[in-house]
Amino acid sequence: MIILGIETSCDETAASICKDGKILSNTISRQLIHTEFGGVVPEIASREHETLLNSVVHATLLESEIELPELDAIAVTQGPGLAGTLLTGISFAKGLGIGLGIPVIPVNHLEGHIFANFLENQFLKFPFVCLLVSGGHTQLWSIKGMERYILLGETRDDAAGEAFDKGARILGLKYPGGPEIEKAALGGDSNKIDFPRSLLSKNSLEFSFSGLKTSLLYFMDDFKETETVKLKDVISSYQKAIVDTLVEKVKRALSITGYNRCVIAGGVAANKCLREQLDMILPTKEIIFPELSFCTDNAAMISYLGELKIKLGKCESLDFSANPNLKLI
């Protein structure tokens, strides 16, 4: 079975071909235009998708050496995401699907992130805890099987990715903040500044990052680099405060569920400090991360999950639209 995946939930225009569970191509065009605004401008993102989609799909077909008539179905991100950008991808997918006379399957972006872990690890076993950490979500899930998900906890305010993005803005770094903070923290002393870790009550699996962000804001108000405290120490300490919170909650979730395995999903899964700390703090647990290019938004996860959905007989009609607030359950 050959599936074309299309992903336009935010500012990445992405397309991919999945054939019988294997990714043949994974094409991503990052919209750099948003960097100058310090965040994604929805109207610009939709227009960019419209301009780029044709060539991104063309490039992914070319790389996988697949011709349009060979496609069996198209999988497209339905939500969550920005209404306009989702609509652009869905309209494109529907138009192409009707033209080719093949089904178009709506895919949940969050479920895509979770299943990105199967791309490199097809024998990954259920059940597992999933830490889903993206720009808009920070959630802990108990994943018992396909479509058998239980929410264990989520953030009360900012997502972890947002803590990186907003922190980066306070620190004078570019958007997206995660990779910028990671780079700028290199060589810094992460123990220099004791930023707050909001762990809430003893067994809580909820998160809160807004206090940490405010504390960075106040700290930077009168910060001047000295011989003993460099800016990279501040950045490294801030990154460590986010990571420590995530690691502690994963530890709690594994202990509460009794599972041995945790899968990390979403853009923040690309963070090296998070990867290292999880491995260090939980050496007896199986901690699984997607390959770096499958952490942040991509269409490989969409085409792969689309194929799984078809195999489960989930071929719906074209009667679906974008759902910016789509939930996992």
Taking CB under 5 A as the binding criterion, the range among 134-142, 170-178, 200-208, 212-220 that sits at the site for Zn ion is 134-142
Check the CA dihedral 183-186-189-191 and report its sign. Answer: positive
Alpha-helix residue ranges (DSSP H) falling in 198-299: 210-221, 231-257, 272-281
Taking CB under 5 A as the binding criterion, the range among 47-55, 129-137, 197-205, 274-282 that sits at the site for Zn ion is 129-137
| Total of residues contacting Zn ion (CB under 5 A) | 2
Q: Which of 176, 188, 290, 306 binds ligand KG4 (CB under 6 A)?
A: 176
Least Å from the CB of residue 10 to Zn ion: 7
Taking CB under 6 A as the binding criterion, the range among 15-23, 41-49, 63-71, 157-165 that sits at the site for ligand KG4 is 157-165
Percent helix, strand, coil in the chain (nearest 5)? Answer: 45, 20, 35
CB closer to ligand KG4 out of 103 and 178: 178
297 in contact with Zn ion (CB under 5 A): yes
CB closer to ligand KG4 out of 255 and 293: 293
In degrees rounded to 5, what are phi and psi of residue 222? -125, 30
CB closer to Zn ion out of 134 and 138: 134
Taking CB under 5 A as the binding criterion, the range among 169-177, 271-279, 292-300, 302-310 that sits at the site for Zn ion is 292-300
268 in contact with ligand KG4 (CB under 6 A): yes
CB closer to Zn ion out of 182 and 297: 297
Nearest Cα residue to 21 out of 318, 236, 311, 313: 311
SS (H, E, C) 171-198: CCCCCCHHHHHHHHCCCCCCCCCCCCCC
Least Å from the CB of residue 268 to ligand KG4: 4
Q: Which of 64, 77, 198, 296 binds ligand KG4 (CB under 6 A)?
A: 296
Peptide bond into 103 cis (omega under 30): no
Check the CA dihedral 3-4-10-13 and report its sign. Answer: positive
Beta strand 128-133 with 104-108 is: unpaired
134 in contact with Zn ion (CB under 5 A): yes
270 in contact with ligand KG4 (CB under 6 A): yes
Instruction: Classify residue 264 by its DSSP letter.
Output: E
165 in contact with ligand KG4 (CB under 6 A): yes
11 in contact with ligand KG4 (CB under 6 A): no
| Total of residues contacting ligand KG4 (CB under 6 A) | 19
- C-alpha 78/C-alpha 322 separation (Å) is 5
89 in contact with ligand KG4 (CB under 6 A): no
How many helices (DSSP H) and strands (DSSP E) are in the chain?
A: 9, 10
- C-alpha 90/C-alpha 9 separation (Å) is 10
Residue with tokens 């700390």: 277
Residues 6+ apart with CB under 8 A from 223: 229, 231, 234
5 in contact with ligand KG4 (CB under 6 A): no
179 in contact with ligand KG4 (CB under 6 A): yes
135 in contact with ligand KG4 (CB under 6 A): yes
79 in contact with ligand KG4 (CB under 6 A): no
- C-alpha 176/C-alpha 164 separation (Å) is 8
Report the interface residues with Zn ion, using CB under 5 A.
Answer: 134, 297
Q: Which residues here bind ligand KG4, judged by CB under 6 A?
A: 10, 134-136, 161, 164-165, 176-179, 182, 266-268, 270-271, 296-297
